[in-house]
Structure 1
Amino acid sequence: MVEKNARALDSEVIKQYLPQGKTIEELEEDMAPKSRQELKDRIKILLREKDAVLVAHYYVSAELQELAAETGGFTSDSLDMARFGNEHPASTLVVAGVRFMGETAKILNPEKKVLMPDLDATCSLDLGCPAEDFATFCDEHPERTVVVYANTSAEVKARSDWVVTSSIAEKVVRHLHEKGEKILWAPDKYLGDYVRQQTGADLISWDGACVVHEEFKAEALKQMRLDIPDAGVLVHPESPREVIEQADVVGSTTQIIKAAKELPNKRFIVATDRGIFHKMRQAAPGKEFVPAPIAGETVECIACAHCPWMAMNGLQNLAHTLETGENEIHVDPETGRRARVAVERMLEFSRNLKS
């Protein structure tokens, strides 16, 4: 069930935090190819000089994803971003994504410098789960095991027993449920609802949502499926239940890419951030990917299937932070120590699954 928690930030409040005007991603689309290449060349030199490695999320621009690959960095989902940064020997980690990803990198690597292109690149799930209010919520349910999604602040992670990503959430909660534990989940109510359905766990959830995934519309998706009957439907579990119910595959970003590669369909309707299309086209060349619809009677298009905070990452501010050392992530050492216990628990659980 979802706790209708009045302390959670509502969508109108979250909108105030959205970037104003054009994002850097949009501005850079107007740059001449020569200027963009000069920036890339400069960034490659700076990465070497600073003993730095670039770690990027699937939702940032194709140029940043390619730059990570070309320089020995890494592009993936938040779980593997955390794992890669933790294992890489570079003394500086540059995280192209949103703030909670940079904080997670710092939590796991307190001895390393962690930089981000823009510290204002945040997440509606993080914004909608303030640490003080969340601590009160936990105190109201002391008998429950606290499981939080990675899309949260370091302070919220420090209050948790487990941190999970979408690729491992169901497995962790099933493991806890089989041990007889009751779950307090935060912050995404749709992912929490999906995990509860899949595992049968006794789970109560914080009332939060992603501004991108919440906008996918079930009725419009039904019509799109009629219009493109041969298309497979791939859905991220942060989406509303009525959208998830129409999916051929429900999964994390990595799982969606894998499904596009392995399923026989030549076309796919994809309900997640459109930034993922770059990696999907690489993994499944020759296949066609169509964004799931956000149009509908109640639509309030905030991000139009692309996270506006992810779009704040660009070549220009990446070069600037490498040149100046600005936009460094700092986490209070004691908060980081407590949060690290929950994050490392997730990584250890993931390693055990693989072995």
Structure 2
Amino acid sequence: MSLAEAIPQSLQSKIDSIIDNVAPTPWLSEEEKADYIEKIKHLLKEKNAVMIAHYYVDDELQALAEQTGGYVSDSLDMANFGAKHPADTLVVCGVRFMGETAKILSPEKTVIMPTLEAECSLDLGCPIDAFSEFCDQHPDRTVVVYANTSVEVKARADWIVTSSNAIQIIESLKADGKKIIWGPDRHLGQYIKNKTGADMLLWQGHCVVHDEFKLYELEQLMKKYPEAEVLVHPESPEAVIAKADFVGSTKQIIAAGKASKADTLIIATDYGLFYKMSQAVPGKRLIPAPTGGKSATCKSCAHCPWMAMNTLVNLHKTLVEMNNTIEVDEDVRQKALIPLNRMLNFSYEQGILTAGDA
């Protein structure tokens, strides 16, 4: 067994334990929600702060970001928006690596999060010491890491990518004759390897949400809705990806849903995306791809347990106390900024990002 296979497996019990012990989201009445929302709106103005929310956090946080001049998007756009916005404080509603990425690009700003306990299985499954040792074993390879990693892993990389731009970047590196070390998501890595034919060594991490999408149950759902189109995030297993009409990032899935002529869409990604999908295609039926059933019983059930830790309650508390601050060592930040800027510059040059993206 290679190091790249052994390390994530050794961490799986830890990840499972974290998932099992995530505290439930506090239940709020509609009146309590409205009260928290008004107080948060006031605090955002008072603190000169802006909300940046990921597609996977709960609906009310996405809506609140939109209502207050903030932004809802994927990890690439989130970091880019924060760097361009004039606010003194960035409130990142998502998971820890997203806050770190915002701080890499905006060191002069205060970056806070509703909770610092919101982790990511891809981040947890790619510890810097083990990953760095693996990279050192293959010094002839270019190190490409997914954005869902710690700032230390980013600093070890030559390139950072997201699911929006990974294929284009790997294609470019392949054209330059580069051999790749890829980390941490094995499914996304395999998808890119299949699409590009690049020489890639894959770290064997996975997303606890996307890893649970099941082929058998998806096939049964497709039989029930034969006219539906299947939209799949590439962090999903290879067999599920093979059934897709479209494969792409969260932002790309929304665009594909808008372009689709189908009235019914089966979507294999975190169901937090359904908030923005419903806005984009209000007349269409949206069905989550199955994560449990005959094949297995789900643990995440198509919603990241760490994303769900972002709530109105802890968002309000963080803004009152101005705690849960993201701090990044300056030497590490400078090293991580190099591959991150490579990604952003490449994305602008290729039109993946435009000057109007902010």
Normalization by structure 1: what TM-score?
Answer: 0.96
- Distance across 2 between alignment mates of 1:342 and 1:192: 18
- Distance across 1 between alignment mates of 2:166 and 2:50: 28
Aligned amino acid, residue 253 of structure 1: T
Deviations 1:168-200 (Å, cap 9, x if unpaired)? 111100010011100100000000000011111
- Distance across 2 between alignment mates of 1:315 and 1:273: 20
CA, structure 1 residues 220+298, in 2 after alignment: closer, same or farther (shift >3 Å)?
A: closer
Deviations 1:77-122 (Å, cap 9, x if unpaired)? 0010011011111111000000000000011111111000010000
Deviations 1:233-267 (Å, cap 9, x if unpaired)? 00000000000000000000000011111100010
- Residue equivalent to 1:249: 246
- Residue equivalent to 2:319: 322
Unaligned runs of 5+ in 2: none
- Residue equivalent to 2:19: 18
RMSD: 1.3
- Residue equivalent to 1:73: 70
CA contact (8 A) 1:3 1:205 kept: no
Unaligned runs of 5+ in 1: none
1:34 to 23, 31, 34: 31
Q: What does 1:1-355 align with in structure 2 at a 5 Å threshold?
A: 4-8=4-8, 9-18=10-19, 20=21, 22-24=23-25, 27=26, 30-354=27-351
- Distance across 1 between alignment mates of 2:14 and 2:218: 28
- Distance across 2 between alignment mates of 1:21 and 1:152: 20
- Distance across 2 between alignment mates of 1:241 and 1:5: 17
CA deviation after TM superposition for structure 1 residue 20, in Å: 2.2
Question: 1:7 aligns to what SS in structure 2?
Answer: helix
Normalization by structure 2: what TM-score?
Answer: 0.95
Question: 2:145 aligns to what SS in structure 1?
Answer: strand
CA deviation after TM superposition for structure 1 residue 6, in Å: 1.3
Range moving further from structure 2, 91-100 or 289-298: 289-298
Hey, which bits of structure 1, 4+ residues long, moved more than 4 A?
none
CA, structure 1 residues 76+165, in 2 after alignment: closer, same or farther (shift >3 Å)?
A: same
CA contact (8 A) 1:47 1:322 kept: yes
Aligned amino acid, residue 6 of structure 2: A
Question: 1:5 aligns to what SS in structure 2?
Answer: helix
- Distance across 2 between alignment mates of 1:67 and 1:93: 14
CA contact (8 A) 1:3 1:204 kept: no
- Distance across 1 between alignment mates of 2:86 and 2:350: 25
CA deviation after TM superposition for structure 1 residue 299, in Å: 1.9
Aligned length: 350
- Distance across 2 between alignment mates of 1:103 and 1:44: 24
Question: 1:306 aligns to what SS in structure 2?
Answer: coil
Q: Percent of pairs identical after alignment?
A: 53
CA contact (8 A) 2:218 2:289 kept: yes
Deviations 1:310-341 (Å, cap 9, x if unpaired)? 00001110011111011001111111110011
CA contact (8 A) 1:19 1:308 kept: no
- Distance across 1 between alignment mates of 2:237 and 2:246: 14
- Distance across 2 between alignment mates of 1:299 and 1:155: 34
